[in-house]
Structure 1
Amino acid sequence: MEFFTRLEAEALKFFNLPQSDKDKAGPPDPFGYGFKKIGSNGDVGWVEYLLLNTNPQITSLKSLTVFRETPEIFRSTVNDYIQAVKRMTFEVVELMADGLKIEPRDALSRLLRDEKSDSCFRLNHYPPCPELQALGGRNLIGFGEHTDPQIISVLRSNNTSGLQICLRDKTWVSVPPDQTSFFINVGDALQVMTNGRLRSVRHRVLAESMRSRVSMIYFGGPPLSEKIAPLASLMAKGEESLYEEFTWWEYKTSAYKSRLGDYRLGLFEKKTGGAAGQ
């Protein structure tokens, strides 16, 4: 908890800077600082964020020179957190492989451990919006509904509500905040790799009227050239793939051309395979 508290404090130092200072770390292309605008296709939200590449060959962390007094504290704190959450994520996906009887056991974790893994880290800040109280309980979208395209997402937030998930009957349910826990989201790529046994979760974030929400998410993705298809060791005899094979680069390119709320996997479902949409 002491480590988490330090990271939150350093993140808030950044998000509480004057807007002109924060803008020096952006605009995101795709990495850097962003405010309200989410992607390049018209999606907006009540959010500001920092998006960083976690590949050690990429120097996005080094580019955050906006911190004038203690830049190394922030950079080292973020780096320490990324390395720790990576190790935990490797263990989590190996436990998932055990449960699904996937062989080899590292079929998923090797993709995240790869030096060319296309993984990233996001710090989100949802400022309080006092005007909400005057809107008669109406919702303000902090981050619109979507599924995560990668293999897996590991999220942690402060003790402020806002996260919601969509159930099969299209009902939105609030996830109680718990700053001592990690929330694991299955991504689109893992849905394909398990041939629909695990489903990517559609989720969104609502803004609060009086409290700010800070969340930190590690998105574990495979190398860009990795072919995404159901894992052979998981498929039952005679079972057909519900999806066309594609590379992660192909899917990522397609996903980032879409709007947040689009059903991105629909373009890659086999038309005769009976894949269930979301």
Structure 2
Amino acid sequence: MVIVATPNSIIQTEKIVSINLPTIDLSKERTTVAKLIVKASEEYGFFNVINHRIPQHIIENMEEAGFEFFAKPTSHKVKLASNYGCKRIGFNGDVGEVEYLLLNGSDSHIAKLSTTISNGPSDFRYKVSAYRDAVEELACEILELMAEGLGVPNTSIFTTFIKDPDSDSLLRFNHYPPPPSPLPTSPSSLLGFGEHSDPQIITLLRSNDVSGLQISLQHGVWIPVIPDPSAFSVNVGDLLQVMTNGRFVSVRHRAVSNSEKARMSIAYFGAPPLNARIVAPPEMVTPERPSLLFRAFTWADYKKATYSLRLGDNRIDLFRNNK
């Protein structure tokens, strides 16, 4: 099961086996749920949650706002400058078959950009703010369950960061248009968003019922994830790997465009304030991990490192202890 990446496409050289991520029902008994979340975070770094209590109309309104924006002429979208991108990803030459809209999670930022993004700015602002509030609450619930499952007495140790008024959390719409037909090399898929791990604490991802997400549990082996329209996908970010002293794993993933239907994903990236100090709590130093794997740093330090490297470069190793 090997997939070879070319500059613009991914050629499948052996049969790909899809994976159903662990699906965790949040309505079940709390202690059991916490244990299942910890297990999934250790083994996969990814899992789905169902019965998340986010109303369907909030999800549908957000998806509608995203598709309406991407349907606008390019001349309109480019007015958003650094908040909008098409094919170019980041500042270091990475490209993909994707266009995106990036929003800071704060009310003031959403309100400011809504007048440019939408012909109905108040409606757009309402839809995005309602979604942001709902996924932030869900992220906090999951992070508290993680802390409980890890045996950390202060169960708000992770949530404090993203509840902070100066949190650097983000919302990102990624739109992957259908590839040209026929595909350049058959069988193949276009690379939408290249290999990477998420640098923040936690990511909550929602996509329309179109495949495209792939994860790598072994170096060089990419496994397609079967989409589940009833669930939110959750993945461990780099900062959470650091704060669990390597117990949780921030897994590399990517997106490909291989369908006749457009794919749109909406990601919430839960992040701390820029000056937040990132270090594992004492409870994460155990006989199995008798020392800190990573030195302390600020989110500003890590964010700077993230933007200075190519998409697939390994950032987290820059902060490993060498003792």
TM-score (norm 2): 0.79
**Separation in structure 2 between the aligned mates of residue 132 and residue 69 of structure 1, nearest angstrom:** 36
- Counterpart for residue 76 of structure 2: 21
Alignment of 1:162-177 (within 5 A): 162-177=212-227
CA RMSD, 1 decimal: 1.6
Shift of 1:129: 1.4
Q: 2:301 aligns with which of 234, 250, 253?
A: 250
Q: 1:194 aligns with which of 244, 258, 265?
A: 244
Amino acid at match of 1:8: E
Shift of 1:76: 1.0
Alignment of 1:93 with 2:139, yes or no, is no
- Counterpart for residue 127 of structure 2: 77
- Counterpart for residue 292 of structure 2: 241
**Separation in structure 1 between the aligned mates of residue 123 and residue 89 of structure 2, nearest angstrom:** 28
DSSP-derived class of the 2:235 partner: strand
Q: 1:63 aligns with which of 99, 113, 120?
A: 113
Shift of 1:137: 1.6
**Separation in structure 2 between the aligned mates of residue 103 and residue 141 of structure 1, nearest angstrom:** 43
**Separation in structure 1 between the aligned mates of residue 174 and residue 182 of structure 2, nearest angstrom:** 20
- Counterpart for residue 22 of structure 2: none
**Separation in structure 2 between the aligned mates of residue 260 and residue 157 of structure 1, nearest angstrom:** 22
**Separation in structure 2 between the aligned mates of residue 114 and residue 147 of structure 1, nearest angstrom:** 24
| 8 Å Cα contact 1:193-1:230 kept in structure 2 | yes
- Counterpart for residue 37 of structure 1: 88
Measured against aligned partners, the alpha-carbon deviations of 1:150-184 in whole angstroms (never above 9, x if no partner) come to 11011010000000000135311000011211111
DSSP-derived class of the 2:100 partner: strand
Measured against aligned partners, the alpha-carbon deviations of 1:108-151 in whole angstroms (never above 9, x if no partner) come to 01111111111111011111112353521222110000000011
Q: Which runs of 5+ in 1 are unaligned?
A: 273-278
| 8 Å Cα contact 1:132-1:209 kept in structure 2 | no
| 8 Å Cα contact 1:244-1:270 kept in structure 2 | yes
Give me the identity figure in percent. Answer: 44
Higher RCO (C-alpha 8 Å, min separation 6): 2
Relative distance call for 1:132 and 1:231 in structure 2 (3 A) is farther
**Separation in structure 1 between the aligned mates of residue 86 and residue 179 of structure 2, nearest angstrom:** 15
TM-score (norm 1): 0.91
**Separation in structure 2 between the aligned mates of residue 118 and residue 68 of structure 1, nearest angstrom:** 23
Runs of 4+ aligned residues of structure 1 deviating over 4 Å after TM superposition are: none
**Separation in structure 2 between the aligned mates of residue 159 and residue 180 of structure 1, nearest angstrom:** 9
Q: Which runs of 5+ in 2 are unaligned?
A: 1-55
**Separation in structure 2 between the aligned mates of residue 254 and residue 187 of structure 1, nearest angstrom:** 15
Give the length in aligned residue pairs: 267
| 8 Å Cα contact 1:52-1:61 kept in structure 2 | no
